[in-house]
Amino acid sequence: MRKILIIEDEKSIAELQRDYLEINGFKVEIANDGKAGLDLAVNNEYDLIILDLMLPEIDGFPICKEVRKHKDVSIMMVSTRVEDIDKIRGLGLGADDYMTKPLSPQELVARVKSHIQRYERLTSKKETNEEDYIKIRDLRLELKSRRVYVNAKEAILTNKEFDVLLLLAENPNVVFSKDKLFDRIWGYDSFGEISTVAVHIRRIREKIEADPSNPEYIETIWGVGYRFMKV
Ligand code: CA
């Protein structure tokens, strides 16, 4: 069952959202302030987090930023003020979606379902792959378990990092621009910043490259993008 965390200080709103989501088959937990929400978000596995912007203790901006450091979970930010949306965008916090309040429960459920289905599409596509793994030199990607090994030692990648690495490794010697990677991994309707691509590449290199500043797997093609080196 898909698990959702609602971080929302207005209890009646949180409970209404929970009821609708539960009717639609989701398991829901609620945190009524920012601190409790952040604790739950970083210490548990959720499929999606609905994050209110204005919260007691810690507001939604730092929560989003902090959760992103630890988890690769979909985050939908909710605010009463339309102008906050520009701020969310400008800060490049890595939220996947945003909504303004008041929002109808039907719309909320529809958005939650679309996010989760998109995630399932990404993962199920990989399960139908004919090969169980991709091995290139010392790097091994196991497709079903989505694990990565370097010299038989496991490298722990987030979901998005794995998706980026897999896309590149499945298409060796093909140059992907940042825009193309962003569209393929984060999706056209996703809410985010192109700069997140470079951040993910850097993190992947730190995890799989012997010398991240002199990468042997993911090569930077200056002014163009990235490519996975097969030879
Ligand atoms: Ca609030």
pLDDT in tens, 17-60: 999 999 999 999 999 999 999 999 999 999 999 999 999 888 89
**pLDDT at residue 191, rounded to an integer:** 65
Confidence of residue 121 (pLDDT cuts 50, 70, 90): low
Instruction: Report CA(15)–ligand 1 centroid distance (Å).
Output: 13
pLDDT higher than threshold 50 for residue 180: yes
pLDDT exceeds 60 at position 130: no
Confidence of residue 127 (pLDDT cuts 50, 70, 90): very low
| 33 C-alpha to ligand 1 centroid (Å) | 9
Indicate the average pLDDT of the chain: 87
Where residue 81 falls among pLDDT bands split at 50, 70, 90? Answer: confident
Cα 61 to middle of ligand 1, angstroms? 12
β-pairing, 74-79 with 48-52? parallel
Structural domains of the chain sorted by starting position, each given as residue range(s) with its CATH number in brackets: 3-122 (3.40.50.2300), 129-228 (1.10.10.10)
Query: What is the 3-state secondary structure of the chain?
Result: CCEEEEECCCHHHHHHHHHHHHHCCCEEEEECCHHHHHHHHHHCCCCEEEEECCCCCCCHHHHHHHHHHHCCCEEEEEECCCHHHHHHHHHCCCCCEEEECCCCHHHHHHHHHHHHHHHHHHHHHHHCCCCCEEEECCEEEECCCCEEEECCEEECCCHHHHHHHHHHHHCCCCEECHHHHHHHHHCCCCCCCCHHHHHHHHHHHHHHCCCCCCCCCEEEECCCEEEECCC
User: Is the pLDDT reported for residue 129 higher than 50?
Assistant: no
State the pLDDT at residue 167.
Answer: 93
Q: pLDDT value at position 145?
A: 85
Average pLDDT over residues 131-147: 87
152-179, pLDDT tens digit by residue?
899 999 989 999 999 999 888 899 999 8
What confidence score (pLDDT) does residue 71 get?
Answer: 84
Distance 73 CA to ligand 1 centre (A): 21
- d(CA 146, CA 153) in angstroms, rounded, equals 14
- 31 alpha carbon – ligand 1 mean position (Å): 11
The token pair at 52 is: 């209110």
What per-residue confidence (pLDDT) applies to 199? 93
Q: How far is the CA of 26 from the centre of ligand 1 (A)?
A: 22
* Ligand 1 ion: nearby residues, β-carbon < 5 Å: 9, 52, 54
Kindly give the distance from the C-alpha atom of residue 24 to the centroid of ligand 1, in angstroms, as a whole number: 24
Kindly give the distance from the C-alpha atom of residue 63 to the centroid of ligand 1, in angstroms, as a whole number.
13
How far apart are the CA of 167 and the centre of ligand 1, in A?
Answer: 39
Question: Is the predicted pLDDT of residue 140 greater than 90, yes or no?
Answer: yes
Question: What pLDDT is attached to residue 122?
Answer: 66
pLDDT for the residue 188: 59
d(CA 6, CA 32): 8
Q: What token pair was written down for 29?
A: 């937990």
How many whole angstroms from 7 Cα to the centroid of ligand 1? 9
The more confidently predicted of residues 103 and 11 is 11
